[in-house]
């Protein structure tokens, strides 16, 4: 299996994972079918669009590859249909669904964090470690930030669990192994680490320090 095939498979996995994650949140927010599809697609491709703009690719790659976007659309529709016809189970099993959502979100984060770094390196920025890793993080969290803005909530990455940090840790590890000529080894080490960090952070409620004001009063 060549590298192009591996990257394509990774992109499909990440697209499906993030589409499921975004669509489930949209369903929980009681959005209509169009809203669920839009949020699912934005979660899937939003980070990649932002990355491509930073890399100077206009229009972004997603508009040259309708297949990936169609996968996101179909996945989001399937989530909507299943939720529509099983709404009672959705409400009853909400905590379990949240766990499933966290898993898919973690898989999407890991997949796109790696793809972002690979795209930056392919664009000729492989010798710029900070920039390449930043493109991985942006690809991984950009869609989630756009999703949260669309459903009118503070971006998840800014307040809950260890999200961006998981991408930074895994992305850095991927980059360091990759520059030594071991792309597949880097892939199979970095992605599981990102997924594990995210799942453990969600399970044990790991959070970065933040300041709490009494009575939730924020001084401006």
Answer whether residue 136 is part of any domain.
yes
Looking at residue 76, its pLDDT comes to 96
Cβ neighbour number for residue 77 with a 10 Å cutoff: 16
pLDDT band of 167, cuts 50, 70, 90: very high
Structural tokens at position 175: 């980059």
Alpha-carbon span 56 to 62, nearest angstrom: 14
Answer whether residue 135 is part of any domain.
yes
Closest residue by Cα to residue 135 from 14, 54, 18, 41:
54
pLDDT for residue 220 is more than 70: no
Answer whether residue 51 is part of any domain.
yes
pLDDT for residue 214 is more than 70: yes
Answer whether residue 217 is part of any domain.
no
- 202 lies in which domain range? 3-208
pLDDT band of 8, cuts 50, 70, 90: confident
Structural tokens at position 172: 């850095």
Burial class of 191 by CB neighbour count within 10 A (0 to 12, 13 to 18, 19+): buried
Answer whether residue 121 is part of any domain.
yes
pLDDT band of 1, cuts 50, 70, 90: low
Task: Give the angle subtended at the CA of 197 by the CAs of 102 and 48, to the nearest 5°.
Answer: 65
Answer whether residue 41 is part of any domain.
yes
Answer whether residue 173 is part of any domain.
yes
Structural tokens at position 60: 């972004």
User: What is the enclosing helix (H) or strand (E) of 166?
Assistant: helix 164-178
SS3 16: helix
Number of domains observed in the structure of the chain: 1
User: Are the C-beta atoms of 8 and 98 separated by less than 8 Å?
Assistant: no
Instruction: Scan for tokens 């756009």, then name that residue.
Output: 146
The DSSP call for residue 122 is I
Quote the percentage of the chain above a pLDDT of 90: 59
Task: Give the angle subtended at the CA of 149 by the CAs of 145 and 151, to the nearest 5°.
Answer: 120
Tell which wins on pLDDT, 219 or 98.
98
pLDDT digits over 86-142, tens only? 888 877 777 787 788 788 888 889 999 999 999 999 999 999 999 999 999 999 999
Answer whether residue 57 is part of any domain.
yes
């Amino acid at each position: 299996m060549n590298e192009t095939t591996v990257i394509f498979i990774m992109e499909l996995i990440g697209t499906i994972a993030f589409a499921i994650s975004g669509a489930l949140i949209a369903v929980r927010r009681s959005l209509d079918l169009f809203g669920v599809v839009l949020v699912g697609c934005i979660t899937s491709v939003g980070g990649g669009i932002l990355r491509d703009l930073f890399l100077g690719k206009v229009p972004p790659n997603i508009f040259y590859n309708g297949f990936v976007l169609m996968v996101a659309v179909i996945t989001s529709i399937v989530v909507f249909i299943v939720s529509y016809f099983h709404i009672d189970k959705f409400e009853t099993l909400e905590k379990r669904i949240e766990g499933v959502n966290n898993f898919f979100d973690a898989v999407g984060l890991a997949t796109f964090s790696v793809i972002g770094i690979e795209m930056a390196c392919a664009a000729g920025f492989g010798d710029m470690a900070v920039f390449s890793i930043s493109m991985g993080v942006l690809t991984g969290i950009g869609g989630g930030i756009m999703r949260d803005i669309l459903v009118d909530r503070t971006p998840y990455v800014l307040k809950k669990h260890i999200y961006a940090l998981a991408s930074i840790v895994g992305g850095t590890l991927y980059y360091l192994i990759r520059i030594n000529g071991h792309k597949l080894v880097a892939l199979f080490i970095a992605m599981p680490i990102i997924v594990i960090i995210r799942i453990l952070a969600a399970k044990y409620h790991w959070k970065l320090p933040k300041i709490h004001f009494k009575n939730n009063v924020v001084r401006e």
